[in-house]
Amino acid sequence: MKPTEFAIIETGGKQYKVAKGDIVTVEKLSNTHKEGDKVVFDKVLLWDNGTDTSIGTPYIAKAEVKGTVTEIGRLAKVLVVRYKQKSRSGWKRNGHRQPFVKVKIDALK
């Protein structure tokens, strides 16, 4: 079995396990990116090549993950409903569509 190289990155307050060729759906990325743009994630928490493992404190210096933006969009609508029992107040409904960015991982360095 061939060892696989992977890393754990932090972006948008969340952590993602990525490997070369993966497509990751990220929630919070700046609005300046367009489809086809290159993205560099420099907050690498852990890097493993199958034999050696590097753990950052909290990040690994000079480590980065490079990717390409493949899709920008919004998820399906999530309904937020509030209802107070026995108070004769009606239903309050709000909708929300969370934006997302799909990034294809090109290289781990």
Tens-digit pLDDT string for the chain (109 aa)? 455 899 999 998 999 999 999 999 998 788 888 999 999 999 999 999 988 999 999 999 999 999 999 999 999 998 888 888 888 776 778 889 999 999 999 999 8
Q: How far is it, in rounded angstroms, from Cα 85 to Cα 88?
A: 7
- The domain ranges of the chain are 6-108
Tokens of 48: 């493993």
Q: Which pTM was predicted? A: 0.81
Element (H, E) at 14: strand 14-19
